[in-house]
Amino acid sequence: MTLVSIAGLPAAARGDLLGQFLEKFGLVIIGLAVFAAVIGLILFIADKAPKRGRDVIQLLLFVAPAVILLAVGLVYPAIRTAVLAFFDARGENFIGFDNFVWMFTQPTILTTILNTLVWVALVPTISTIVGMAYAIFIDKSKGEKVLKSIVFMPMAISFVGAGVIWTFVYAYKATGFEQTGILNQIVVWLGGEPQQWLLVPPWNTLFLIIVMIWIQTGFAMVLISAAIKGIPTEIVEAARLDGANPWQSFWNVTIPGIRGTLVVVVTTISIATLKVFDIVRAMTAGNFNTSVIANEMYTQAFRQGQFGQGAALALILFVMVLPIVIYNVRVLRKQREIR
């Protein structure tokens, strides 16, 4: 078949990478051009707005695109889901609190909720402690930048990619076979029996949590490191002159100095942890009692068509995140008032 006839086929049948590339490149260009045109038009109208009420018109034009998208894409769905949580599987009949009764009487769902609580208890605390320790240990050391990059790097890797990386770390081969996973190899070198890390509850949840900690520690480390460097030198110096040992100065100077940052780090990681979905899905698919709410929500609504139960789980997750956000909103309000 000649090139000409290949070009005549629809792109899907061609399997031609170059064609695919050109087609998608074209799509991206068109998309960007259309977007640029829309934005240009908005700014043009804002520019030409009549003097009277110009501020209001300009304000509306600036805010409207984002607000409309958010109202349609997040606010309306959130309200709709909250309502759906009180309806049956197909969303047709009002059933009161039945979905919540179901949730709190099903042992598997209770395990799921419990797992989520374990995640949110462990990931933020351990990530923050390890990140803080590391930040202090390498502070002002040689090669601080490289050492930081190493721990920070997992932040750039997708949850799915991280799942693959750790699936290989946890790989298991029975006694008598050569191990392919580093963790079991270390156990064997130390004279132990290889373990099925991801199979045995409740420990398997901990091994999934390690993956999340691996990712989030870099985030904690970078922020805390910056905060430590921000503590005024005079205070640290004064503590030292007062005869404080490093441990005392850590508790009395460093911790108070970075308190605000610690709060930020913990709350941020908590929200990310409550929403965790990809790690569980890629590594155990929620089997062996490792499911978490975000994963179970997807399974209920989309795999099993139980939209009401899925919505109820979403609502529970929302309620769990709410206190964290309320706290942050209060901080935010204070700051805007100060400004």
Give the footprint of another protein on residues 205-244 (CB under 8 A). 214-219, 222-223, 225-233, 236-237, 240
- Which of the residues 264 through 323 are near another protein (CB under 8 A)? 264-265, 267-269, 271-272, 275, 277-278, 281-283, 285-289, 294, 297-299, 301-307, 310-311, 314, 317-318, 321-322
Residues in binding contact with another protein, number by CB under 8 A: 181
Q: For another protein, which residue of 138, 208, 209, 292 counts as binding (CB under 8 A)?
A: 138
- Which of the residues 48 through 67 are near another protein (CB under 8 A)? 49, 54-56, 58-59, 62-63, 65-67
Rounded least distance, CB 121 to another protein, Å: 18
Q: Which is nearer to another protein, 10 or 191 (CB)?
A: 10
Rounded least distance, CB 119 to another protein, Å: 14
Q: For another protein, which residue of 163, 205, 207, 209 counts as binding (CB under 8 A)?
A: 163
Q: Left, alpha or beta for 17 (phi > 0: left; psi -120 to 50: alpha)?
A: alpha
Q: Does 37 bind another protein (CB under 8 A)?
A: no
- Which of the residues 111 through 130 are near another protein (CB under 8 A)? 130
Q: For another protein, which residue of 4, 175, 191, 243 counts as binding (CB under 8 A)?
A: 175
Q: For another protein, which residue of 112, 128, 154, 292 counts as binding (CB under 8 A)?
A: 154
| Whole-number Cα distances in Å, 201 to 245, 322, 328 | 43, 29, 35
Identify whether the C-beta of residue 230 lies closer than 8 Å to the C-beta of residue 222: no
* Rounded Cα–Cα distance for residues 262 and 210 (Å): 20
